[in-house]
Structure 1
Amino acid sequence: MIATQPNRRLRLVIVDDHTLFREGLRTILEMEDDIQVVADAESAEDIVELVWQTKPDVLLLDIRMPQGSGLDAVPAVLRISPGTKVLVLTACDEKEEHMRAFKLGAKGVIVKDSARQTLMQAIHTVCTGQVWVDPRMTGALVEELSHLGPEGTSSSNRDENGLTEREREIVRLVASGQKNKEVGATLAISERTVKTHLTNVFQKLGVRDRVGLVMYALRHGLTRAA
Structure 2
Amino acid sequence: MNHQNNHKKIMIIDDHPLFREGLKAIIERDTRYKVIGEAGTGRQGIKMARELKPDLAVIDISLPDLNGIQVTQEMIDQLPKIKIMIVSMHSKIDYIAEAFQAGALGYVAKDSASDRLLHGIDCVLKGDYFLDSSVSHQVVEKLLQFPVKEAKIADSEYGSLTPREQEVMRLLAEGSTPKEIADKLCISPKTVENHRANIMKKLDIHSTMELVRYAARLGLIDVDLWKE
Q: TM-score, normalised by structure 1?
A: 0.76
Return the offset for 1:211: 1.8
Number of residue pairs aligned between Structure 1 and Structure 2: 214
Return the offset for 1:9: 1.4
Is the 1:171–1:222 contact (alpha carbons within 8 Å) kept by the matching residues of 2? Answer: no
> Structure 2: how far apart are the matches of 1:134 and 1:7?
30
Is the 1:171–1:223 contact (alpha carbons within 8 Å) kept by the matching residues of 2? Answer: no
Residue identity (%): 29
**Superimposed CA distance per residue, residues 20-65 of structure 1 (whole angstroms, 9 cap, x where no aligned partner):** 2112112232343222211112212322111112111110011122
Amino acid at match of 1:16: D
Match status 1:81 vs 2:79: yes
**Superimposed CA distance per residue, residues 157-214 of structure 1 (whole angstroms, 9 cap, x where no aligned partner):** 22244235665565455444455677789xx744659936544322211223322211
- Aligned pairs (5 A) from 1:1-226: 6-91=4-89, 93-114=91-112, 116=114, 118-148=116-146, 157-161=154-158, 162-164=160-162, 167-168=165-166, 171-172=169-170, 174-179=172-177, 189-190=185-186, 192=188, 195=192, 197-218=195-216, 221-224=217-220
Return the offset for 1:85: 1.1
> Structure 2: how far apart are the matches of 1:182 and 1:6?
29
Amino acid at match of 1:103: Q
Structure 1 regions of 5+ residues with no counterpart? none
Is the 1:57–1:83 contact (alpha carbons within 8 Å) kept by the matching residues of 2? Answer: yes
Is the 1:172–1:223 contact (alpha carbons within 8 Å) kept by the matching residues of 2? Answer: no
Return the offset for 1:140: 1.6
Q: TM-score, normalised by structure 2?
A: 0.75
Q: What's the secondary structure of 1:159's corresponding residue? A: helix
Q: What's the secondary structure of 2:20's corresponding residue? A: helix
> Structure 2: how far apart are the matches of 1:130 and 1:176?
13
Q: What's the secondary structure of 1:11's corresponding residue? A: strand
Is the 1:142–1:176 contact (alpha carbons within 8 Å) kept by the matching residues of 2? Answer: no
Q: What's the secondary structure of 1:163's corresponding residue? A: coil
Over the residues paired in the alignment, what is the CA RMSD in angstroms? 3.3
Structure 2 regions of 5+ residues with no counterpart? 222-228
Amino acid at match of 1:106: A
Is the 2:26–2:118 contact (alpha carbons within 8 Å) kept by the matching residues of 1? Answer: no
Is the 2:161–2:199 contact (alpha carbons within 8 Å) kept by the matching residues of 1? Answer: yes
Distance 1:115-1:87 versus aligned 2 partners, 3 A rule:
closer
Distance 1:130-1:180 versus aligned 2 partners, 3 A rule:
closer
> Structure 1: how far apart are the matches of 2:37 and 2:64?
20
Q: What's the secondary structure of 2:80's corresponding residue? A: coil
Is the 1:12–1:60 contact (alpha carbons within 8 Å) kept by the matching residues of 2? Answer: yes
